[in-house]
Structure 1
Amino acid sequence: MPVELERIPAREKLPPLPNFKRWLLLGIVMLLAGAAATFLYWKGEHSGAAFWGLATGLPVVLWGLLIVGRYLGYVLLCRRSEKKNATTAARFQADIARGQRFAWLIGEVLINGLGPDSPTTHKAVLAKKPLMMPCEPVNGGNPVRHRALAVTGEMADREAHYLPGITAHVQNLVALLPPSLACYLAVDTGEQFLTLPSFLQKSVPHPLVRIRDLTGLELLDYWLDCHYDRAAALLVVSAQLYEHPPEDSGEAISVLLLTNCRLKNIPDVSVRVHRPQICRDGNIGRAFERIMMWSGLEKTALQQAWTSGGQMVSGDIFSKAREAHAPGLNAEKIKHIDTVAGFAGVAAPWQALQLATRQCLSDSQAQLIVTELAEDNRQLCIVTPE
Structure 2
Amino acid sequence: MPVELERIPAQDKLPPCPRFKRWLLLGIVMLLAGAAATFLLWKGERSGAAFWGLATALPVMLWGLLVVGRYLGYTLLRGRCDKKNATTAARYSAGIARGQRFAWLIGEALINGLGSASPMTHEAVLAKKPLMMPCEPVNGGDPVRHRALAASGEMADREAHYLPEITAHVQNLVALIPSTLTCYLAVDTGEQFSTLPSLLQKSVTHPLVRIRDLSGLELLDYWLDCHYDRAAALLVVSAQLYEHPPEDSGEAISVILLTNCRLKGTPDVSVRVHRPQICRDGNLDRAFERVMMWSGLEKTALKQAWTSGGQMASGDIFSKARETHAPGLKADKITHIDTVAGFAGVAAPWQALQLATRQCLNDIQAQLTVTELAEDNRQLCIVTPE
Q: When the two structures are superposed, what TM-score results if normalisation uses the length of structure 1?
A: 0.95
**For the Cα contact (< 8 Å) 2:115–2:122, is it kept in 1?**
no
Per-residue Cα deviation, 1:246-290 (whole angstroms, up to 9, x for no partner) = 110001000000001111124564211111111112222221121
1:174-189 alignment runs, 5 A limit:
174-189=174-189
Counterpart of 2:110? 110
Q: Aligned with 1:198: secondary structure? A: helix
**For the Cα contact (< 8 Å) 1:148–1:251, is it kept in 2?**
yes
Per-residue Cα deviation, 1:27-59 (whole angstroms, up to 9, x for no partner) = 234334434544455453333211221232112
1:39-118 alignment runs, 5 A limit:
39=39, 41-113=41-113, 117-118=117-118
Q: Within 2, Cα distance between the matches of 1:261 and 1:366? A: 20
Q: Within 1, Cα distance between the matches of 2:122 and 2:113? A: 13
Q: Within 2, Cα distance between the matches of 1:121 and 1:217? A: 25
Counterpart of 1:278? 278
| Alignment RMSD | 1.8
Counterpart of 1:377? 377
Moved more, 75-84 or 271-280: 75-84
AA partner of residue 138 (structure 2): V
**For the Cα contact (< 8 Å) 1:170–1:255, is it kept in 2?**
yes
Question: 1:378 deviation in Å?
Answer: 0.8
Counterpart of 2:122? 122
Question: 1:373 deviation in Å?
Answer: 0.6
Q: Flag the 1:241–1:118 CA change in 2: closer, same or farther, 3 A.
A: farther
**For the Cα contact (< 8 Å) 1:109–1:117, is it kept in 2?**
no
Q: Within 2, Cα distance between the matches of 1:122 and 1:102? A: 26
Q: Flag the 1:362–1:19 CA change in 2: closer, same or farther, 3 A.
A: same
Per-residue Cα deviation, 1:335-366 (whole angstroms, up to 9, x for no partner) = 11000100000000000011111111112111
Gapped regions of structure 2 (runs ≥ 5) = none
**For the Cα contact (< 8 Å) 1:368–1:382, is it kept in 2?**
yes
Q: Aligned with 1:323: secondary structure? A: helix
**For the Cα contact (< 8 Å) 2:114–2:122, is it kept in 1?**
no
Q: Does 1:9 align with 2:9?
A: yes
Q: Within 2, Cα distance between the matches of 1:331 and 1:67? A: 63
**For the Cα contact (< 8 Å) 1:113–1:148, is it kept in 2?**
no
Counterpart of 1:299? 299
Q: Within 1, Cα distance between the matches of 2:116 and 2:326? A: 35
Q: Flag the 1:115–1:49 CA change in 2: closer, same or farther, 3 A.
A: closer
Q: Within 2, Cα distance between the matches of 1:183 and 1:9? A: 37
AA partner of residue 84 (structure 2): K
AA partner of residue 328 (structure 2): G
Aligned residues: 386
Q: Aligned with 1:18: secondary structure? A: coil
**For the Cα contact (< 8 Å) 2:312–2:370, is it kept in 1?**
no
Moved more, 4-13 or 260-269: 260-269
Counterpart of 1:142? 142
Per-residue Cα deviation, 1:96-147 (whole angstroms, up to 9, x for no partner) = 2211111111110100156795544421110101010111111111111111
Counterpart of 1:343? 343
Q: Aligned with 1:186: secondary structure? A: strand
Q: Aligned with 2:131: secondary structure? A: coil
